[in-house]
Amino acid sequence: MNRLILKVSELEGISEADAIARFAADTEVRRIGTSAEFASFATWLLSPLSGYFTGQTISVDGGRIKGMMG
């Protein structure tokens, strides 16, 4: 994410803080996900609790990507 923020900042001539704010504004939850949130999903995915899930695509993006249902 840091490389993406730096790239947007450079290409658009805006500060890194403004690039982060733009990314946050484009998500349904209006913020950037934390490392702990991504880690908790990975932990669940690797645990026996996810054993019944097969062949799924799950977006962990705070609602940034709009799908057919949203």
* Predicted TM-score of the model (pTM): 0.66
60: part of which helix (H) or strand (E)? none
17-36 pLDDT, tens per residue? 999 999 899 899 999 999 99
* Separation of alpha carbons 19 and 51, rounded Å: 38
40-60 pLDDT, tens per residue? 999 999 999 999 988 888 888
DSSP 22-59: HHHHTSTTSSPPPHHHHHHHHHHHTSGGGTT--S----
Count how many Cα atoms sit within 13 Å of the Cα of residue 13 in the half-sphere of its side chain. Answer: 0
